[in-house]
Amino acid sequence: MVGVISLRDLIISEEDWVVSDVMSERVVYASAGDDQESIAKLMRDYDFLALPVVDFKKHLLGIITVDDILDVMDEEASDDYSKLAAVTDMDRNDLSAIDAAKKRLPWLIICYF
């Protein structure tokens, strides 16, 4: 990947221009091994609608869209709220009701007061 060009710039450019005249060589991208949360923060900080994903040689592997990031942010928020309420293991079948109550009891007492 050597550069990016916006659809707007592509549409308003003159017909005889070449892509290298219109594209920006300053590219913000995500690596294939990056964490979902760091990519979500990157897209939020730059207000991107899409972000290219590259490998270690900077070959384009694909893009991440804002729709993908919204799903990730929703999943991460649900996970964080579950951890805060100590209900992360509530969907396990091997957890007895007494064990589940013991895990939640400190939070229930704090919320009561």
Encode pLDDT of 56-75 as tens digits: 998 999 999 988 888 888 88
Number of domains in the chain: 1
Q: Which CATH number do you get for residue 38?
A: 3.10.580.10
- Tell me which residue has tokens 């709220």: 81
Band the pLDDT of 111: cuts 50, 70, 90: confident
- What is the domain range of residue 39? 7-112
What Rg value do the Cα atoms of the chain yield, rounded? Answer: 22
Residue 27 in any domain: the answer is yes
Distance CA 46, CA 29 (A): 11
Higher-confidence position of 76 and 39: 39
State the pLDDT at residue 94: 60
Q: How far apart are CA 61 and CA 36, in angstroms?
A: 16
**13 assigned to some structural domain:** yes
**Residue 2 in domain:** no
Q: Which parts of the chain fold into alpha helices (H)?
A: 7-12, 19-22, 36-46, 66-84, 97-112
